[in-house]
Amino acid sequence: MKKAVIFGASGFLGSNLLEQLLMNDEYLQVTAIVRRNLPVHHPKLKILIGDFNTLPDLKDQIEADEVFITLGGTTPQIDHDYPVLAAQIAKEKGAKSVFVVTAVGASIHSRMSYVKIKGEIERDLIALDFEHTHIFRPSMIMGNRGEFHLVEKIMMALWRVLNPFFIGRVSRYKGLEAKNIARAMIYAAKNPFGKVKVYHWKDMNDLLLNNKG
């Protein structure tokens, strides 16, 4: 049985991932590192309170075979530096595989700051030389966030209309439910292969179809 550590468990995608990791019989322990305590109780769950500045102090309490990163933020420190530091410390504590969520179009050569930073995260995680580096590049992350944000509601409604028209080369822009992205990450962890693997919509959807039932 495996031990996992997750960064970003309080977020929309991360909370879905945490729930599914806890329900999965392959995991003996799931450590969630968050800034504030979570309203979640489970015998397999270990919660550590920390952030970018205090993470090194938690190092001795971290045990992991796999590290899952669903962090996102509005500053370069949170968006780039924290995921890279998290992966580095997890690797030092035994993690062989890293599973990170970035974004569709992530590239260090992009002129768009958001996807350029995501590309830099990918580059720097690959440089850490895990046995397996799995990069998930979703487009619109769908689902009920439990909070009302007008812009997000409008964007999700728009994506539901556009989704059927994203075919062929642009299928990577299809939206996917957060719970299904989380499920795809766990399926990928079940049978990791290759040194570096990048998942777009089709790849994640294939994982879901191949593990259906």
pLDDT at 104 over 70: yes
The predicted model gives 179-205 an average pLDDT of 95
Instruction: Please state the pTM of the whole predicted model.
Output: 0.94
pLDDT at 21 over 90: yes
Cα 27 from Cα 52, distance rounded (Å): 26
Highest mean pLDDT among 20-34, 73-87, 160-174: 20-34
The predicted model gives 162-184 an average pLDDT of 90
Instruction: Enumerate the β-bridge partners of residue 47.
Output: 32
The predicted model gives 21-37 an average pLDDT of 97
The predicted model gives 10-29 an average pLDDT of 96
The DSSP code for 117 is H
Domains with residue ranges and CATH for the chain: 2-210 (3.40.50.720)
Q: How far is the CA of 105 from the CAs of 37, 115, 118, 211, in angstroms?
A: 33, 6, 9, 26
The 10s digit of each residue's pLDDT in 45-82 is 999 999 999 999 999 999 999 999 999 877 777 889 99
E strand residue ranges, 95-182: 97-101, 132-136, 141-142, 176-177
**In which element (H, E) is residue 161 found?**
helix 150-162
Give the pLDDT of residue 148: 60
**pLDDT-derived band at 143, boundaries 50, 70, 90:** confident
Residue 153: phi, psi to the nearest 5? -60, -45
Give the pLDDT of residue 60: 94
The 10s digit of each residue's pLDDT in 105-125 is 999 999 999 999 999 999 999
The predicted model gives 131-149 an average pLDDT of 87
> Is 94 exposed, middle or buried (CB count within 10 Å of its CB: 0-12, 13-18, 19+)?
middle
